[in-house]
Chain A
Amino acid sequence: MTGSGIFNQVMFWLFAVMAVAPGFGILLAKDIVRQAFWLLLSLVGFAGLYLHLGADFLGFIQVLVYIGGILILFLFGVMLTYRMDVPLKEVKGWGLVFPGIIAGILTASALLYVASRTPWNAAAKATAPTVSAVGSRVMSTFILPFEVISMVLLVALIGATYIARRKEDKGRSEE
């Protein structure tokens, strides 16, 4: 953890709880829109943790792209689908509990193994804001990847336009 002041401690626990606790909300909420909003709270918590680690650029991107962009896509995706009023098929007895316990134990042990092997004290000690460092690297050392990224974005842009527009044209001809 960067710094040991009481303010740091308080903010770390605040963000940590904010990042993890909404997971229960996502699991327990019945409505998918509510689940999306719980996810929003969790993503805000992670943005705070990134800031806490001194990774300010990552924190900004988290807010800008994940909270501002990806979550909007989630909600639009929900809006595009039919609401299922058909009740989900209930599985009685041990049909779900047993595989659930096995999957839970496997996931938990994998996470614990990774957590126990990670040298936590070696975590980055950021001294300066990372945005300007990222900026000057992108403009000089990584200029080629930077320009290639614009090609990747271009491909995504054209692909999304092509697919969505084609579907709509098809829908119109069927009408």
Chain B
Amino acid sequence: MEAILLESVLAPYLPAFLYFAVVAATAAGFLIASRLLGPRRRDPLKLSTYECGVPLLGGTRDRFSVKFYLVAILFVLFDIETVFLIPWAVEFRQFGWLGILEMFIFLGILIIGLVYAFKRGALKWD
């Protein structure tokens, strides 16, 4: 059994797969258990949308402010920056100070964009 598992490229991810399997099983277990064990008495109040106990403010599909979208776009851009940080973080020791300098040039150029976004108030929430 062990030999079968170790010959696979996926072998290093086995703990992660087990983790996901346990998470999925736990979530499914809670849903199934509450469906089997929980009493179901439906009335209009119980079937209404639950919003942390406070009265609802309009529907769930109101339009949200464009500010959220701007934050999401900025998030994706810095997410892509992370994509390059990961392989750099694995290998930068091999290149010494040069490797660190290369990444800081990369980050420095992006920080110009962050400063611009900051100056224009893109991160302000008024």
| Residue positions of A touching B, CB distance < 8 A | 2-3, 5-8, 11, 51-54, 57, 60-61, 64-65, 68-70, 72-73, 76-77, 79-83, 126, 129, 131-132, 134-136, 138-140, 143, 146-147, 149-151, 153-154, 156-158, 160-162, 164-165, 167-168
Contact = CB atoms under 8 A, between A and B. Distances in A.
Contacts of B79: 64-65, 68-69
B63 A8 contact: no
Given A81-B63, A157-B74, A161-B122, 20 more contacts: A3-B8, A5-B4, A8-B8, A8-B10, A11-B17, A53-B9, A57-B86, A60-B86, A64-B83, A83-B59, A83-B61, A131-B90, A132-B90, A135-B92, A147-B102, A147-B105, A153-B77, A153-B80, A157-B110, A164-B69
Contacts, number: 164
A27 to B, nearest CB: 21
B120 A11 contact: no
Interface stretch (B27-35, B40-48, B111-119): B111-119
Interface of B: 4-5, 7-10, 12-13, 17, 59, 61, 63-64, 66-70, 72-77, 79-84, 86-92, 94-95, 98-99, 102, 105-107, 109-110, 112-114, 116-117, 120-122
Given A61-B83, A157-B113, A139 B102 contact: yes
A110 B87 CA distance: 36
Contact of B76 (A69, A79, A132, A158): A69
B101 to A, nearest CB: 10
A132 B98 CA distance: 17
Nearest to B117: A161
A65 B64 contact: no
A139 B88 contact: yes
Contact of B73 (A3, A11, A164): A164
Given A51-B10, A164-B73, A158 B68 contact: no
B72 to A, nearest CB: 4
Given A146-B106, A154-B112, A161-B122, A80 B87 contact: no
Nearest to A12: B10
A92 to B, nearest CB: 29
Contacts of A164: 66-67, 69-70, 73, 122
A132 B79 CA distance: 19
A138 B66 contact: no
A103 to B, nearest CB: 31
B7 A76 contact: no
Contacts of A156: 77
Contacts of A81: 63
Contacts of B110: 150, 153-154, 157
A138 B87 contact: yes
B63 A79 contact: yes
